[in-house]
Structure 1
Amino acid sequence: MTTMTDASVREFKMPDVGEGLTEAEILKWYVQPGDTVTDGQVVCEVETAKAAVELPIPYDGVVRELHFPEGTTVDVGTPIIAVDVTGGAPAEEAQAPVEKAVEEKPEAKETRQEGRKPVLVGYGVAESSTRRRPRKAPAAAAEETVSVVQGDLNGHGRQARPLAKPPVRKLAKDLGVDLATVRPSGPDGIITREDVQAAVVSAPVQETPAAPAAPVAPAPVVAPAPPVTYDGGRETRIPVKGVRKATAQAMVGSAFTAPHVTEFVTVDVTRTMKLVEELKQDRDFEGLRVNPLLLIAKALLVAIKRNPDINASWDEANQEIVRKHYVNLGIAAATPRGLIVPNIKDAHDKTLPQLAEALGELVATAREGRTSPAAMQGGTVTITNVGVFGVDTGTPILNPGESAILAVGAIKLQPWVHKGKVKPRQVTTLALSFDHRLVDGELGSKVLADVAAILEQPKRLITWA
């Protein structure tokens, strides 16, 4: 890796895109030396222990150097790309306004110490209780520090940069929404994805012209080493990293920490399958994906409402049971990079059409490999649909930090005693695993029985919800 010393060159560092992760692997570069980049443009895709994430650059300029080839794992905070800032002020000049702001507005500095705003990932370093000399800060940090100081400098200066995480900035750029016009709803004035989506109707669409490439030959980027094959091609060893490595560690930790209990029930879901077909013709579900998983998810949410104690977690450090008054419903998804479990935030508050929309977005995002780390955090209970593989059922392992997971088997036409006669009916097997430290057999059985009862008689969704 080469360190750039030119004052007009900005070094973009590997950000912490997963709230506490220490490293990420560079999967793909979208730019090469000589390419022109603009603020918010995605320059590379990286994979963390949780997901693949696209990284936008926070300034305009021309790419000078890519410090690492694709396939390299880089520590958070390490420079990964150097950009010659077109028309930008040198680093020393960029720091001057910061010093001036501190000298002329000591009350602003005091405000930042008492009620500081967060500096977002990839746009500078977060402030700590320890004061640092302004000249020690990198240019990128100086730029962001200026943006969080209240008011203009000497009554003029540039306008504060809207606070938004890189994925939100990219979404706004793709939708043509000016972040300066968006009203933030997140903590400390941070703009969320929902804010951008709400503003997209009235926001003017901006067409970004294609950036011309500078006449500089791109430097070759070394490809990652392929998997090593041994014994004349009879064995191949593939390094375990990224999502697969994190999943393996989480599953081992869960299996040998939480005492698992699994219960099973086989249920006639013929009426549920008929309801699925009816909902597909309903106007309220036009354009939405309606399938058995939607009604299974709603049945589980109703069962949790009737038995709220199962929606909890075990706090080992404090020896406490933490009961959740919200449900972030996780849906296990198999991807080429391994198993991930994104969750639908506040699923308990969603109507059936809203739940269908959220499920559709979750599945589409997972298939495209664009699930964000935030989407996989904070889950409270999970559904895994092994039936899509033709499997009858299984004994699922709890997602770490959760107390229950429901496995759904394949729905098959089977002989079933219905109204005293053997008839062909749509039948499936459900399996509920739970943490026996905080969920006893009675509670687990009630939840599983409620889910089965709703799927057998879907009208209970109306009377029990």
Structure 2
Amino acid sequence: MTATEQRFREFKMPDVGEGLTEAEILKWYVQPGDTVTDGQVICEVETAKAAVELPCPYEGVVHAVHFEEGATVDVGTSIIAVDTDPGAGPAEAAAPAAAAEPAPAADEEDAEPQGRQAVLVGYGAAPSSTKRRARKPQPGAPAQEPAAAAVQAELNGHAAAPAPAAPAAPPAAPIPSASPAAVPVAGRPLAKPPVRKLAKDLGIDLATVTPTGPDGVITREDVHAAAAPAPAEAPAPAAQPVTAEATAPSSGSEAVRARETRIPIKGVRKATAQAMVNSAFTAPHVTEFITVDVTRTMKLVQELKQDPDMAGLRVNPLLLVAKALLVAIKRNPEISAAWDEENQEIVRKHYVNLGIAAATPRGLIVPNIKDADAKTLPQLAAALGELVTTAREGKTAPGDMAGGTVTITNVGVFGVDTGTPILNPGESAILAMGAVKLQPWVHKGKVKPRQVTTLALSFDHRLVDGELGSKVLADIAAILEQPKRLITWA
């Protein structure tokens, strides 16, 4: 390791989950020039499983931040450089980070590299070409000033050379700039990789964008401004036809609603989608349904809310459904298993890590309660409350979502009667709890209004046959109909 590498330490994106390959940077807590200490949280990233805060392993001053918020970064790519000896004198240019510049545009011809070009620190350099066609000069764009050239050369680690005088440009109307300080930079436009990708997606040539960032760097706002349609100089002679999705005219103008919105698939939603596809087309699903009178269970919920042993705990029907499922698994332990395709084995699990499907702003996640079968009712209530709170805050750790055996999904909170849930990958069964509704029910030979719900149990038919799945579902229903069985069967 060179002296420069020892001083400027690059922190690479770690694998914060289990074999994850990338993460999205949600928020930076530090910027270049900030002092950091070993263990200080520097940013928050979102993996395919959860949002995680990353601590800095070095102490010093932030030298460079290599990616903007919203960028997706591969594991092992440097995301920040820290000057661990800021008192050693003027900082030298840090070594280029792993993030590389995009390939030259399609309208550029291949040629042998000649010289180097000033780039953003930490973003590498792209080879120049002697055969590259000259770009059309932007009307009214001033020639590069010596100060801008010095900044570029300093960023690349070289002394600035005097710039030759540029020939006078023919008179042209000036183009409005987003900022008086905007300085268009000659040569290859300066922009970070996420901004280059944005420009590519929007079909914008960066050479036509007026930069407003420090030292002539093109920002995301500059790209969006370039993509915005220019105001019309005069009204159109005839009104244009309005699509079927147009809104009603307002103040003499016609506003047209966007017909489509494209949302990038990444993070938790991307992982969930892939997992569901893998599960649906790998494990043969069987779903069974049962409708049950849960009037006594609902009365027990109200009684437990007044019980001193449950003070401060969240008591609801989901708690008793979870306990009923755990008792049913204890009576039918064969359902707590997994299918090992590689070794062609059924793996029986003598424990239950109970998953709870939780909807969060970042998508659906399934954290699980470890060894839920060994917990008392108050302990289970406490674990459920903590699980839900942590999930809603987006702080669920990847380890809390690994190793599940069976899952409960509560679709009843949306007023839905039931559904056909898809297995969480690697698990044997998933129970869907429907809405509890007052319905006419035959009770003791008479039709009476009773609290009724419908349960659905999906299971992997490779390791759970119809008999076993039916026994488990029937036991859950029997317990919810007569909750005293939580004592007699436990």
TM-score (norm 2): 0.65
1:402-441 to structure 2, matched below 5 A, reads: 402-441=427-466
Which of 373, 382, 396 aligns to 2:421? It is: 396
Q: Kindly provide the CA deviation profile for residues 18-37 of structure 1, in whole angstroms up to 9, marking residues without a partner as x.
A: 02111111111111112222
CA distance in 2, matches of 1:254, 1:4: 51
**AA aligned opposite 1:393:** T
Match of 2:479, SS state, is: helix
Aligned to 1:323: 348
The aligned residue for residue 282 of structure 2 is: 257
Work out the CA distance in 2 between the residues paired with 1:351 and 1:79. Answer: 46
Output one character per residue of 1:177-231: Cα deviation in whole Å (capped at 9) or x when no partner: xxxxxxxxxxxxxxxxxxxxxxxxxxxxxxxxxxxxxxxx9x99966999x9999
- 2:282 equivalent to 1:282: no
Q: Secondary structure at the match of 2:350?
A: coil
Deviation string 1:105-140 (CA, Å, 9 cap, x unpaired) is xxxxxxxxxxxxxxxxxxxxxxxxxxxxxxxxxxxx
What is the match of residue 272 of structure 1?
Answer: 297
In 2, distance between residues paired with 1:356 and 1:36? Answer: 43
1:27 maps to a residue whose letter is: L
Is the 8 Å Cα contact of residues 293 and 450 (structure 2) preserved in structure 1? yes
Shift of 1:338: 1.2
C-alpha contact 1:330 1:383 (8 A) present in aligned 2: yes
Tell me which residue corresponds to 2:29: 30
| CA distance in 1: counterparts of 2:421 and 2:73, whole angstroms | 33
Alpha-carbon separation, structure 1, partners of 2:343 and 2:350: 19
Number of the residue aligned with 1:235: 260
Segments of 5+ residues of structure 1 without an aligned counterpart are 91-216
Q: Residues 66-77 of structure 1: matches in 2 within 5 Å?
A: 66-77=65-76
Alignment of structure 1 residues 306-385 onto 2, 5 Å: 306-385=331-410
CA shift at 1:417, angstroms?
Answer: 1.2
Alpha-carbon contact 1:271-1:458 (below 8 Å) kept: yes
Residues 294 and 237 (structure 1), Cα distance of their counterparts in 2 relative to 1, 3 Å cut: same
| Residue 232 (structure 1) shift | 6.4
- The CA distance in 1 between the partners of 2:471 and 2:217, in whole Å, is 61
The answer (yes or no) to whether the contact 2:430–2:458 under 8 Å persists in 1 is yes
Are the structure 2 counterparts of residues 223 and 304 from structure 1 closer, same or farther at C-alpha, using a change threshold of 3 Å? Answer: farther
Q: In terms of mean alpha carbon deviation, does 15-24 or 36-45 score higher?
A: 36-45
Q: 1:299 aligns with which of 299, 320, 324?
A: 324
Gaps of 5+ in 2: 90-213, 229-244, 246-255
The CA distance in 2 between the partners of 1:371 and 1:222, in whole Å, is 33
Evaluate the alpha carbon distance shift between residue 464 and residue 88 of structure 1 in structure 2; reply closer, same or farther with a 3 A threshold. farther
In structure 2, the residue matched to 1:47 is 46
In the alignment, what sits opposite 2:179? Answer: none
Q: Distance in 1 between matches of 2:323 and 2:436?
A: 17
Shift of 1:6: 5.6
User: How has the CA–CA distance of structure 1 residues 223 and 333 changed in structure 2, closer, same or farther, with 3 Å as cutoff?
Assistant: farther
Deviation string for 1:432-460 (max 9, x for gaps)?
00111111111000000000011111110
Does the CA contact (< 8 Å) of 1:70 and 1:221 recur in 2?
A: no
The equivalent residue for 1:104 is none
Paired with 1:332 and 1:458, the residues of 2 have a C-alpha distance of 24
The 3-state SS of whatever aligns with 2:282 is coil
Q: In the alignment, what sits opposite 2:60?
A: 61
1:398-446 deviation per Cα after TM superposition (whole angstroms, max 9, x unaligned): 1110110000000111111111111111110000001111111110000
Q: Distance in 1 between matches of 2:400 and 2:218?
A: 32
Checking the alignment, whether the CA contact within 8 Å between 1:313 and 1:402 is kept in structure 2 is yes
Output one character per residue of 1:136-179: Cα deviation in whole Å (capped at 9) or x when no partner: xxxxxxxxxxxxxxxxxxxxxxxxxxxxxxxxxxxxxxxxxxxx
Q: Partners in 2 of 1:322 and 1:23 — Cα distance?
A: 30
The answer to whether the 8 Å contact 1:69/1:222 transfers is no
* Counterpart Cα distance in 2 of 1:444 and 1:276: 27
Contact 2:61–2:86 (Cα < 8 Å) also in 1: no
User: Cα gap change, 1:279/1:400 in structure 2, threshold over 3 Å: closer, same or farther?
Assistant: same
SS in 1 for 2:387: helix
Instruction: Write the letter of the residue equivalent to 1:297.
Output: A
Question: Residue 55 of structure 1 aligns to a residue in which SS?
Answer: strand
How far apart in 1 are the matches of 2:394 and 2:368? 15
- Taking only aligned residues, the RMSD between alpha carbons, in angstroms, comes to 2.8
1:264/1:40 CA distance change after superposition, 3 Å: same
Letter of the 2:291 partner, please give it. T
Displacement after TM superposition at 1:233 (Å): 1.4
Q: Secondary structure at the match of 2:384?
A: helix
- How far is 1:89 from its partner? 11
Deviation string 1:38-85 (CA, Å, 9 cap, x unpaired) is: 222211111111111111112332222111101111111111111222
How many Å separate the matches in 1 of 2:380 and 2:413?
20
Is contact 2:297–2:482 with CA below 8 Å preserved after alignment?
yes
Q: TM-score normalized by structure 1?
A: 0.68
Determine the structure 1 residue equivalent to 2:123: none
Residue in 1 aligned with 2:273? 248
Question: What is the one-letter code of the residue matched to 1:263?
Answer: E
* Alignment check: 8 A CA contact 1:262 1:431 kept: yes
Match of 2:210 in 1: none
* Letter of the 2:358 counterpart: A
Amino acid paired to 1:40: G
Alpha-carbon displacement from aligned partner over 1:268-313 (angstroms, at most 9, x marks no partner): 1111111111111111111111111111001000000000001111
Letter in 2 for 1:55: L
Q: Cα gap change, 1:277/1:223 in structure 2, threshold over 3 Å: closer, same or farther?
A: farther
Question: 2 CA distance for matches of 1:380 and 1:458?
Answer: 24
Q: 2:218, 2:62 → 1: CA distance?
A: 14
Aligned equivalents of 1:221, 1:65: Cα separation in 2: 17
Amino acid in the other structure paired with 1:389: F
Aligned partner of 2:73: which letter? V
| Structure-2 change in CA distance of 1:220 and 1:7 (3 Å) | farther
State how far apart, in whole Å, the 2-side matches of 1:35 and 1:315 are: 50
With CA pairs under 8 Å and 6+ residues apart, which has the higher RCO, 1 or 2?
1
Structure with greater helix share of residues: 1
Distance (Å, rounded) in 2 between the aligned partners of 1:319 and 1:357 = 38
Q: Which residue identity lines up with residue 37 of structure 2 in the other structure?
A: T
- Provide the secondary structure at the position in 1 that maps to 2:394: coil
* Contact 1:24 1:48 (C-alpha < 8 Å) held by counterparts: yes
Q: 1:299 to 1:223 in 2, by over 3 A?
A: farther
Q: Secondary structure at the residue paired with 1:423?
A: strand
